[in-house]
A = this chain, B = another copy of it.
Amino acid sequence: MTELGAKMGQGHDLAMALRAAYLAMHRCADAHLAAGGVTADQFVLLSLLAEGDSVTQRQLVRRAGSDANTVRAMLVLLEKRALVSRRPHPTDGRARSVCLTAKGRQTYERLWADSQPFRRRLLTAVDAGKRRTLVESLRRVAEAMK
């Protein structure tokens, strides 16, 4: 194999490793949150809503690194369960203002506690000294793929 070919193989390996790590983490997070009746992706939305009261769907999309249609569908599900509320934005007629209900905040805090073992497990997988480098590299990847 050529030297250039080997380099592209590196890219393939990195992509496969990122894929495997994410899928495994996602499965693990789902397992730790299933008892609370919430999926890992729903937990992501709840955590974004918990740190920043009243945000637009557009802001959720950007911060979750997700898609407008996906976020909307998830919010509809969460709204049916009375965990979030969506109201018309006070000044922008196009936007929706989303926030946690009291039940939603309560649920989120319980879920955060339930998922402590998951975060502990994730942290012990990587040496403390390498964590910052890892997060930094992941952010560079996310940035480069935009």
Q: How far is the CA of A131 from the CA of B17 in the complex (A)?
A: 11
Number of residues on chain A facing chain B (CB within 8 A): 51
Q: Does A123 contact B (CB under 8 A)?
A: yes
Chain A interface SS verdict (over half) = helix
Q: Among the interface residues A11, A22, A124, which one has the most CB atoms of the partner chain B within 10 A?
A: A22
Cβ B138 vs Cβ A18 within 8 A:
yes
State which of A75-83, A84-92, A113-121 sits at the interface with chain B: A113-121
Q: A10-B123, A116-B8, A137-B134 are in contact. Are A65 and B145 (CB under 8 A)?
A: no
- In the bound complex, residues from chain B placing their C-beta under 8 Å from that of A22 are 18-19, 21-22
- In the bound complex, residues from chain B placing their C-beta under 8 Å from that of A44 are 16, 19
